Amino acid sequence: MTSRLQGRTALITGSTSNIGRSIAVALAAEGAHVVVSGRDETRGAAVVAEIREGGGKADFARADLDGSPAASQALAAAATDLLGGRVDVLVNNAGVYPPSSTPTTDEETFDRVFGVNVKAPFFLTKALVPAMFEAGGGVVVNLGSWITRLGVPMGAVYSSSKGAVETLTRAWAAEFGPRGIRVNAISPGVIASEGWEDGTRQAAGVMMRGTPAGRSGHPDAIAAAAVYLASDDAEFVHGTVLDVDGGRTGVAVVAV
């Protein structure tokens, strides 16, 4: 274990699997006491056990972040209690992605996506930043997406919700920065999920053809970026969206 986050506390939403899990494990490995959160208590307990077995500090707080202020406030209170009275680092990772086109998206789906992806992090951040002000500082890391700037045929609602999150990142940096809170975002590219079927993996590989990386990424790549943004190494970084996408959005893709 290293110590870039020694003595810090962190809450990572949606951290029982995939990117969120990797971020929780990585922050704990750097010395942070983390709260793992999500809907699945069994998976949450497994992540906590993994961190503790590695010598880290972790607890689990169940949360169903549906976008209601009450759900976000409840998680903020639970995490603050588990972490001894303060949350130094908030990672807004939880999100949903419905594989629907615009004609097949109903109002219920639209509201759920914006509830989970935009309203939940908004009200969770609102609930936690006052204590960060009092403590003299803190860090917020949001999760955006590469398809906010490079359109794909499916996922209009998801991409627009993540565009809102990236805009909130810049707005919050302006609003909170003068009071010691750094706000930045990570924009993941095509990241392999442990639950993918072979067909999905193949399609993801096709999307990365011609990019500098030439392949899908791993959740640990996003976790490494989160550690950087949460640490003092990024003390002069405010309002940035860090692309961790194998060059998908920043480099011309040549069909091969």
Question: Residue 60, by phi and psi: left (phi above 0), alpha (psi -120 to 50) or beta?
Answer: beta
Calpha distance 119→173 (Å, rounded): 18
| Six-digit token string for 66 | 């549906």
Please, what is the Cα angle at 61 between 60 and 64, to 5 degrees? Answer: 135
- Residue 55, token pair as written in the block: 């010598």
The neighbour count for residue 72, using CB atoms within 10 Å, is 24
Copy the structure tokens of residue 39: 């809907």
Residue 215 near residue 248 (C-beta atoms within 8 A) = no
Three-class SS of residue 224?
helix
Residue 158 appears among annotated catalytic residues: yes
Tokens found for residue 115: 């509830």
Cα end-to-end distance, the chain, whole Å:
42
Query: 231 Cβ partners below 8 Å, 6+ apart?
Result: 4, 5, 30
Catalytic residue among 158, 184, 219, 225: 158
**Can you tell me the distance from the alpha carbon of 186 to that of 3, in angstroms, rounded to the nearest whole number?**
22
3-class DSSP state for residue 108?
A: helix
Positions marked catalytic: 158
